[in-house]
Structure 1
């Protein structure tokens, strides 16, 4: 019997979602796309969660969508559109999440797995990670909304290369394109992921949320998102955390933020 395909743990403000199908290189089924979106939406609304880490079990992040399902669940235009709606919802849950989402990438990060990583805020990978968007080898079009994530994360030139050629790139190429924040040797990887997530979780949650909203508004130029970002920023000025930050600075101590 297959173990739980998505594992969720939470500790000290850091929630970790683990894609847990190592025998299939963490390939994602349609049911998993739906479940992943549900987990992200739930975690983002929990007051105690301040950052989400998305990762894979074992040596790989994810090989993308489970192709073994395509004949039955993606075999014609109607079913393909329905399937695409489920993975688009998963990408959107990460893209629109109110709190930061980190992708912790080992090994293979292909197709839909690459799309998930592109929808995250920060991406850190091991030095042996490999990246690809092989839709052209399957005769499929990548979802337009998810393509937007790839363009923003890797740049239009790299997005063209990956989708036109279906070729692979290594971690240094992904770093040079701006897709990765950092490359870490495998022996230090888990420690570095924990350090980064812990640093985010220890900062003022309202401030971090306001920064995420402001960055999103700056990229989109959308009037609604600009207004939301302004509201989120204004809320920090009246918060207990703002008072705590000032008091901690004056007292030369570490602040303890409560997200209020």
Structure 2
């Protein structure tokens, strides 16, 4: 199978799968390029309420395909950062489902997701120091926001791998699941995410990511959405809410 990103949509959840089994799902230049337009497509799909990023088989992503760095390292890194930023900007909840190695560019992608659920035995590493690469400022800031400056420096300075337990303790991941339980928990959590108000989620995501200048915008969105009235009515009537606000599609 040629290296590729594939995707599927079921029950309001889009799943993007990194596929390059010959190289432990390493990302090629073509795969980095393909991710932003794929995310744009899924963001504009009103049936999609959450997104899962995962790797095929027993590995999430072993990083960038090193052969792509031989020609123009700066260009290759630019492609990775652009893909990472597109994932971070995805307007709906995103979740990385991680098995096995999550290293280099794979760790960049996982960090760009809103949530990270991992299976026991997963290994994480941020490895530019092994290649003499200057890690992008945006990627460094994102890592620091997750794990704090001390752990971020440890990961970046040493390029050492850490296990799932340490990743959980440092805040790099949100949950560690026993072997065989990851898919079940991902399905359970994405069902919850898909049932909640997209209005609340979209506003919270912007605020958490530093867009604190948009209070007025989100207040106006809430006023016209009907989601608050529906949420209160559903609570009082002891039924599931039927939220109708959705992320606007691009023109």
- TM value normalised by structure 1: 0.90
Indicate if the aligned counterparts of 2:5 and 2:17 stay in contact, CA closer than 8 A: yes
Aligned partner of 1:76 in structure 2 is: none
Runs of at least 5 residues in structure 1 that lack an aligned partner in the other structure = 74-78, 218-224
**1:233: Cα distance to partner?**
4.0
Distance 1:38 1:156 in 2: 32
**1:89: Cα distance to partner?**
0.6
1:239 aligns with 2:225: yes
1:257 aligns with one of 224, 243, 250: 243
1:212 aligns with 2:198: no
**1:243: Cα distance to partner?**
2.5
Distance 1:232 1:43 in 2: 22
1:226 aligns with one of 180, 198, 212: 212
Q: How does 1:54-93 map to 2 (within 5 A)?
A: 54-71=53-70, 73=71, 79-93=72-86
Indicate if the aligned counterparts of 1:21 and 1:27 stay in contact, CA closer than 8 A: yes
Aligned partner of 1:139 in structure 2 is: 132
1:126 aligns with 2:110: no
CA RMSD of aligned residues (A): 1.5
1:161 aligns with 2:154: yes
Distance 2:165 2:215 in 1: 34
1:190 aligns with 2:176: no
**1:81: Cα distance to partner?**
2.1
Runs of at least 5 residues in structure 2 that lack an aligned partner in the other structure = 247-251
Distance 2:97 2:215 in 1: 27
Distance 1:3 1:171 in 2: 30
SS at match of 1:102: strand
- TM value normalised by structure 2: 0.93
**1:134: Cα distance to partner?**
1.8
SS at match of 1:28: coil
Aligned partner of 2:7 in structure 1 is: 8
Which one has the bigger helix percentage?
A: 1
SS at match of 2:245: coil
Once the two structures are overlaid, the 10-residue window that deviates more, 24-33 or 151-160, is 151-160
**1:69: Cα distance to partner?**
2.3
Distance 1:214 1:237 in 2: 18
Q: How many residues align?
A: 246
Structure-2 change in CA distance of 1:229 and 1:27 (3 Å)? farther
